[in-house]
Amino acid sequence: MDKKWYLRIGRASEIAVAKDRRIYRALEILPGFLVWLTFIFLVVFSIYQAAGVAIFVILFDVYWLVKIIFLSAHLRSGYKRMRENLKIDWWNKLKERTDWEDYWHLVILPMYKEPYEVVLPTFEALANSRYDHKKMIVVLALEERGGAEPLQAAELLRQKFGGEFFKLLITIHPKDILGELAGKGANQSWAAKRVKEEIVDPLNIPYEKIILSVFDIDTNVWPQYFALLTAKYMAHSQPDRASFQPVPFFINNIWETPALGRVVAFSSTFWMMMQQERPERQVTFSSHSMSFKALVEVGFWQTNIVSEDSRIFWQCYNFFDGQYEVVPLLYPVSMDAAVDKTFWKTMKVIYKQQRRWAWGTENLVYVLFCFLKNKNIALSKKLYHGFNLLEGYYSWATNALIIFLMGWLPVILGGKNFNVTVLSYNLPQITRTIMTLAMIGLISSAVISINILPPRPPRYGRRQYIWMILQWALMPLTTIIFGSIPAIDAQTRLMLGKYMGFWVTPKSRERVEK
């Protein structure tokens, strides 16, 4: 048996050895169990130990306030550093070196049923990037199950951009391959193997000289992305032991998005920007880049999971025994906010997208199990990453509900004995004051959101900018409805063994009907 067989696990049922299968299943239960245990304890203790819960809530609110201040500082710092990167002419700076031409860029774009008008700007952005396009191999990775329309769109793109790059390869991932979960990971893994066999190997291009970028189909690269990426890749002491992460700006269609959707989209952008300031905690997410050599060594992306974008980092981290990292690029790529044709359909789409992202808790299970099996990673690294992952997914599911809803439980359930105390009287006022102070931190978010907006479409008046600022008052609502609840949903499904499949977020550039 392969010593690192555990690197290909998707779920507990795939493990042949009963003992290991039970351990993995227990780890699948753990996140949801902790979340529901917390809620049960808060309710029970609010009845029988209301004063203790009230003190806990106050301390938790203070902790949350300090964390908001801490993260807001990271947001401002990350934004400042990103703006500095945007001022640099990375293309001319790169050309000062004589060896940059030794490197190739391989871009894989997985596509399902996205319309031509969504995919076209992605190719236009690639074609407009300030880089030598003859050093770029672009792969449009279609799905057989996507039907005829994507094939027609692919042919139009081939006619328009076929001569723009060194190679434009169109692959078709077959449906119903045994052992695969239909989704992005299986598609892009198929595409990477095809380009290796059809282009890379026949031309004897060294794997270590290929910088692979896998982008969601709606990803628009900014002009200097490949120049900056090449410079960072070449400057790294071991570039085949690192992934390179840009900041995803979910703004392509932001003007067409309802206010609730805009807050969720900007919040996701800002979270990733803050994470760039904490590279020791960062993992790959959505569109990112890495060494083709590293990808081949680990055996490409797993084809039996949902969250392949983050899994590839943990796959590499364990394969290389902890000698793998994410390099923050502090440079943006633009992507779509989740939108559908009507308001309520958009709300449903946002919820499903957030639930799919929250399903990333499957990576927590995977990492903890790999850490149990891999004896070559330092214990300190295992404890650090294991705790951060567990705390992150736990907080995602619980924090907003504890802060905005469950803090009132002692007053509601505490009974007469508690409600006549000074603590009972002060709890709502203290909670309200702390939440008000915390909301001040949204000022940074509001200002930055205005600064990163794409040009305003003519059909929207200047008054729309006012709503772009006032929308941040919806933050408490979005953190519960599109934060905690989908996270609880995902972790509960995993706990019960109700495994999720890959759900493709609909892409639309149409104006949302009210």
> How would DSSP label each residue in 170-205?
EEEEPS--TT--SSHHHHHHHHHHHHIIIIITTTT-
Average pLDDT over residues 192-215: 97
Using alpha carbons, list the distances in angstroms from residue 177 to 15, 146, 287, 412, 442.
19, 15, 25, 54, 47
Using pLDDT thresholds of 50, 70 and 90, give the confidence band for residue 510: low
- 276-304: per-residue pLDDT in tens? 999 888 999 999 999 999 999 999 999 99
- pLDDT(438) > 90: no
* Each residue's pLDDT tens digit, 20-42: 999 999 999 999 999 999 999 99
Tens digits of residue pLDDT in 439-448 = 777 888 888 9
* Cα 499 → chain centroid: 19
Cβ atoms within 10 A of the Cβ of 420, count? 10
315 contacts 370 by C-beta, under 8 angstroms:
no
CA angle 329, 69, 479 (to 5 degrees): 80
pLDDT value, residue 117: 93
User: How would you classify the pairing of strands 288-291 and 325-335?
Assistant: unpaired
Residue found by looking up tokens 């680990």 in the block? 298
Mean pLDDT of 484-511: 88
pLDDT band at 262 (very low <50, low <70, confident <90, very high): very high
Residue 467 has what pLDDT? 86
Q: Rounded to whole angstroms, how far apart are CA atoms 52 and 32?
A: 24
Q: What is the pLDDT of residues 447-484, one digit of tens each?
A: 899 999 999 888 888 888 888 888 998 988 999 999 99
Helix axis angle, 18-48 to 361-373, nearest 10°: 130
pLDDT value of residue 512: 63
Q: Residue 104 — φ and ψ, nearest 5°?
A: -120, 150
Tell me the pLDDT of the chain averaged across its residues.
92
Asked whether the predicted pLDDT for residue 175 surpasses 70, the reply is yes
- Comparing C-alpha atoms, which of 164, 203, 365, 361 is closest to residue 292? 203
> Mean pLDDT, to the nearest integer, of 370-380?
96
Residue 413 has pLDDT above 90, yes or no: no
What mean pLDDT is predicted for residues 116-144? 96
**What is the per-residue pLDDT across 312-344, written as a single tens digit (0 to 9) for each?**
999 999 999 999 999 999 999 999 999 988 999
Tokens, residue 68: 């908001």
Q: Is a pLDDT exceeding 60 seen at residue 1?
A: no
Percent above pLDDT 70 for the chain: 98
Q: β-strand 104-110 against 210-214: which pairing, if any? A: parallel
207 within 8 A of 296, measured Cβ to Cβ: yes
- pLDDT tens-digit readout, 267-278: 999 999 999 999
* Residue 110, phi then psi, degrees to nearest 5: -70, 135
Amino acid code (one letter) for 456: R
What's the token pair of residue 505?
């977020």
d(CA 268, CA 506): 17
Percent of the chain residues topping a pLDDT of 90? 74
Least confident of 13-27, 151-165, 412-426, 479-493: 412-426
Say yes or no to pLDDT of 156 above 90. Answer: yes
Would the pLDDT of 247 be above 90?
yes
Q: How many CA atoms lie within 13 A of 464 on its CB side?
A: 17
The C-alpha atoms of residue 434 and residue 454 are separated, in whole angstroms, by 34
Give the per-residue pLDDT at 9.
95
Q: Quick one: pLDDT at residue 110?
A: 96
State residue 35's pLDDT score: 97
Q: Pick from 238, 339, 244: which is nearest to 288 by CA?
A: 244
Once rounded to an integer, what is the mean pLDDT over residues 105-119? 95
How much is the pLDDT for 461?
84
pTM of the model: 0.93
Residues 263/475, Cβ–Cβ less than 8 Å: yes
Burial letters for 3-33: b for 16+ Cβ neighbours within 10 Å, e otherwise? ebebbbbbbbeebeeeebbebbbebbbbbbe
